[in-house]
Each structure stands twice: as C-alpha cells, then as structure tokens.
Amino acid sequence: MGWPGYIPEDENEEQLIRMELAKMNLIPVFLTAEDLEGYYEGFSNKVLWPICHYRLSYAVFEKSYWLAYQKVNQYFCNIVLKQNITSKDELRVHDYQLMLLPQLLRQQRSDLTIGYFQHIPFPTDEIFRCIPWRNELLKGLLSADLIAFHTYHNAPNFLNSCLNILGLSPKNNSVRCRDRCVHVEVFPMGIDFDKFKALSCSEVVLAKAEVLKDQYQKRKLILSIDRLDSSKGILERLSAYESLLQQYPELRNKVVLYMLVVPSRDTVTQYKLLRGEIDRMVGHINAVYGSDDWTPITYFYNSLPVEDLSALYIAADICLVTSLRDGMNLVCKEYIASKAQDYNGVLILSEFAGAAKQLSETIQINPNAIEDIMQAMHFAIYMPKLERQQRMRSNVSMVKKFNISHWAKLFFARLHEVKREQEASASRKMQGATLQRLIDKFQQA
Ligand SMILES: Nc1ncnc2c1ncn2[C@@H]1O[C@H](COP(=O)(O)OP(=O)(O)O)[C@@H](O)[C@H]1O
Ligand SMILES: O=P(O)(O)OC[C@@H](CO)O[C@H]1O[C@H](CO)[C@@H](O)[C@H](O)[C@H]1O
C-alpha cells in the first residue's frame, strides 16, 4: 500500500489506477493536493527529513504540517484496517512518513504484529528533541514490535531518545513500553545484485557504455548520481572538483565529472534554491576551466531508464558519493554490482553514508573536508590497476552477499520470531493469571 505519486483528475481515473495496481497486488492511498502540501512537502520534507539528516536550521516547525501528518497517518490506518487482516498477518511499515501508523493500528488492533523500517538516519536525541512533537512521534513508533534501521549507530540514537525524552529504560536492544517489549535492531539493506550484474553484461547496455567511452575518449570519467537533495553533498563535491582542477592543472582535459541529478521535491523552497546553486557552480567551473575541446562537467537534471544508468556505471572509472548524511545509499552498491565483470573501478564514499560501514575497501572521505575529497579523487585517478581490482573484488563480494533478498529474509524472519516470542509471553501471562486466581481462591477457602 502506498501513495501512487499522482492525484487523479476524477473518480474514473481513480478507479482505473486502483484496477491497474490491483493487478500487482498493490493498493493505492490517494491524497489531495492539500494533504500533500502539509504532510509530504511540509512535515515529511521540512521537519523529519532535515532533522534526521542533522540539518536543524532547515527545519520548519509549522503546526499545520503536524496536523496534516496526523491526518494522513490516520487515513493510511483506516485503509489498512479495511483489508481483511488477521492476527496471523505481519504488517511492515516503511519509513519516516508513517511514524504514527504503528500506534494508530495498535489502538484498534492489539493482536497485530508490526515491523517498522526507517530508511533514513535516526539522529541523536539532542537533535530529535528539537521537534515540538517528539513525544508523539516516539510513542507512535513504540507501538511497533520491531523497529529497524540500516546501520548500527541509529539504534542507540533511537533508544537514547526513548530514555532521555520519554524517560523509558531501554535494555540492550529493546525497550519496554507499557506491557510490551519493543525490539530495536539493524538490517543493512542491499540491492538486487543479480539484476545489476546481468544488466552490465547485456548487449544493449554494453553498446551504450561504448558510446560513452568514445565520447570521453581516454579521459577519466568520475560519476556522481543522486537525487536533488542537500543531504547528498552536491555543492561540496563541486567545490572539491574545482579544487582538483586548480591544484592539479595537469589534470585539465584529462578528467570529466559526469553529474546526474534526479529531480526531487522541487516544490520545496530549499530544493529549488539548491538547484539554482548547482546550476551556478557548474556554469562557473565549465566557464573558468573549460576549453574548446573539453567541458569539465557534464551535468544532467533528469531521470534515466535503468539501462542508461547501468551504462554509466560501466563507463565510469570512479564513482563519487559525498553524502553529508545518507541512511544507506544504494547508488554506490549499484556501481559496485556493475563492476562484477572486470572489477575495474574505484569508489569514493562518504563516511556518513550507511553503506560506508559495510564497504571497507572504498576510499572513505569526510564530505565536509573539501581538501580530502579532492585528494581522494587524485588518489583514485592514479590508483594502480591491481589495487583497484583487489579493492573492488572485496566490495563486490559484500554487495553480492548482503543483497536485497538477504535483507528481506533477515528482517521478515526476525519479525516472525518477535511475533512468536510475544505469543509465548502472552500465553505465559495468561497461565500466570490463571494460577494466581487459583491461589487466591485457595487462600480464601
Ligand atoms: N537519474 C536517475 N534516473 C533513474 N533512477 C535514478 C537516477 N539516479 C538515481 N536513481 C536511482 O535512485 C536510487 C537512489 O537511492 P539511494 O542512493 O539509496 O538514495 P535516495 O533513496 O536517498 O535517493 C537508486 O536506486 C538509483 O538507481
Ligand atoms: O520518498 P523519498 O524521496 O523520501 O525516498 C528516499 C528514500 C527512498 O529511496 O531514500 C532512503 O532510502 C534508501 C533505501 O533504503 C537509502 O539508501 C537512502 O539513504 C535513504 O535516503
């Protein structure tokens, strides 16, 4: 179930979308333009996203956003409960747009098993407590049975919020809330490795990659791909690239930064401003350093079919990920999977991307240290082939092993286990209560 990403014109269109999605076993939750403004652009993108990405100054704590967020979470709850859900089913709630949903469901159905997965970081309690509605959000989540994140440090951050904001007493990786034990655990998400590997061998993709290589000839191709978002460190990356061209003039005309930015949330002011700033910096670098036969940056602001993405991954000598914060970052894993044939590529990865915790054989950088990004690019450009391949081989084996099915299996199996633990504990409680009643009766007699 989810928002289909579109507002239907009328009921006929709504019905049509409903029928098309039903073929894939999907159920749409339709939202109005007004809902989207307050709930998605407002609370999700102007409160939770900046707070969870440590961008306190970007947060806008508008009461109307909060009201819309509550309303839409309730709306999701109503539609979930309209389905024929039995206590045997397990519900999995995805991401920060639905933090209140576990509690709303629990209030109606105490028998449900609910897992929640947060795809973005969970910040330290000192940041999270800035949200005026932090208690409600935490309580919303604490009605889940299993709360999961991509990487390790998010779990203690969440548990510290339970301790320092709600005054609960977490123990190891769980916290008791009312009479329930809520488990807080970590499941790093992977990608469909086989799909990206297969794409990288397909004729169509290889032909596209050849065209790219011809276009850039012997120049080193540095690739960056991300959604338009200040959390991706796009401006920092551009500054570092400019420093590289300044500090190492011999690299001019020998490298190209191929920067692909996917349109995202462009109705939100901060995103519009960011886009303008990127345009300005790209224009500046190309004008100052470019020559008749060389443009330092190739920049596109659009979405691409997966075959084109795959061709870019194959053609790129270096992939540069500079996220200031990133729950996981799948682009870097897709790049690695696309190198599973010849292991010929280098990944520069921000230490603030969740993926950095798994991919130790990458060149890791602090994206706030422009000089370090610049030196990392220089190092990557001159890295000997043997070292490139050794590092990439190790990264490939990680991405291959911890793929998306592995993630799904672990998360679902754990939720299943939690459900069984809870059933066992409920039955122990029942037995205890029965025994107590007998003892009371005996004593009275
Ligand atoms: N230009 C593009 N066209 C189509 N898909 C893209 C494009 N750029 C990125 N993507 C896809 O978007 C996803 C981005 O995921 P990720 O790196 O985890 O960051 P986020 O989800 O925060 O945007 C990847 O699966 C990637 O293939
Ligand atoms: O709906 P959005 O734009 O908020 O989605 C962003 C989200 C979905 O791709 O991104 C987060 O999830 C990714 C997958 O778990 C993760 O790799 C990334 O770091 C997150 O930003």
Ligand 2 centroid to residue 119 C-alpha, Å? 6
Q: How far apart are CA 213 and CA 210, in angstroms?
A: 5
Instruction: Determine the distance separating the centroid of ligand 1 and the alpha carbon of 269, expressed in angstroms.
Output: 21
Backbone angles phi, psi at 269, to 5 degrees: -55, -45
pLDDT at residue number 152: 95
Residues with CB under 6 A from ligand 2: 119-120, 189, 264, 326-330
Q: What is the pLDDT along the chain (445 residues), one digit of tens a residue?
A: 999 999 999 999 999 999 999 999 999 999 999 999 999 999 999 999 999 999 999 999 999 999 999 999 999 999 999 998 998 889 999 999 999 999 999 999 989 999 999 999 999 999 999 999 999 999 999 999 999 999 999 999 999 999 999 999 999 999 999 888 999 999 999 999 999 999 999 999 999 999 999 999 889 999 999 999 999 999 999 999 999 999 999 999 999 999 999 998 888 888 899 999 999 999 999 999 999 999 999 999 999 999 999 999 999 999 999 999 999 999 999 999 999 999 999 999 999 999 999 999 999 999 999 999 999 999 999 999 999 999 999 999 999 999 999 999 999 999 999 988 888 877 887 788 888 888 888 888 7
From CA 120, how far away is CA 185, in angstroms rounded? 14
Q: Which two tokens stand for residue 106?
A: 């629990």
Residue to mutate, 223, 226, 264, ligand 1, most ligand atoms under 8 Å from C-beta:
226
Angstrom CA distances, 224 to 132, 348, 352, stand at: 36, 10, 16
> In the sheet where 255-262 sits, what is the strand order?
297-301, 255-262, 220-227, 318-321, 346-350, 363-365
pLDDT given at position 443? 86
Its pTM stands at 0.94
Q: What is the whole-number distance in angstroms between the Cα of residue 324 and the centre of ligand 2?
A: 14
> Tokens 């939690």 map to which residue?
418
ipTM value: 0.96
Residue 94 to residue 81: CA distance in whole angstroms: 17
Query: For residue 44, what pLDDT is reported?
Result: 97
Ligand 1 center from residue 132 Cα (angstroms): 31
Query: What is the position in ligand 2's atom list of the atom closest to the CA of 353?
Result: 19
For ligand 2, the distance from its centroid to the CA atom of residue 326, given in whole angstroms, is 8
Ligand 2 mutation target, pool 119, 151, 187, 265, most atoms within 8 A of CB = 119
Would strands 180-186 and 174-177 be described as parallel, antiparallel, or unpaired? Answer: antiparallel
- pLDDT value at residue 222: 98
As a whole number of angstroms, the distance between CA 371 and CA 350 comes to: 13
CATH fold group of domain 193-401:
Rossmann fold (3.40.50)
Tell me if the domain spanning 31-187 has CATH number 3.40.109.10: no
Rounded to whole angstroms, the Cα distance separating 385 from 355 reads: 24
- State the distance from the centre of ligand 2 to the C-alpha of 44, rounded, in angstroms: 12
Does ligand 1 have an atom closer than 6 angstroms to the CB of 224?
Answer: no
**For position 204, what pLDDT does the model report?**
97
* Nearest residue by C-alpha to atom 2 in ligand 1: 303
Distance CA 47, CA 58 (A): 8
Residue whose CA is at the smallest distance from ligand 1 atom 23: 227
Ligand 1 centroid distance, CA of 331 (Å): 6
Domain with CATH 3.40.50.2000 in the chain: 31-187, 193-401
Ligand 1 and 225: CB distance under 6 A: yes
The verdict on the CB of residue 242 being under 6 Å from ligand 1 is no
* DSSP secondary structure code for residue 87 in this structure: T
Q: Which residue, 170, 183, 89, 172, is CA-closest to 143? A: 183
Render the burial of 278-294: b for 16+ CB within 10 Å, e for the rest: beebbeebeeebeeeee
Q: Nearest C-alpha to atom 19 of ligand 1 is from which residue?
A: 329
Supply the pLDDT for residue 408.
96
Q: Which residue has the tokens 């019905």?
A: 15
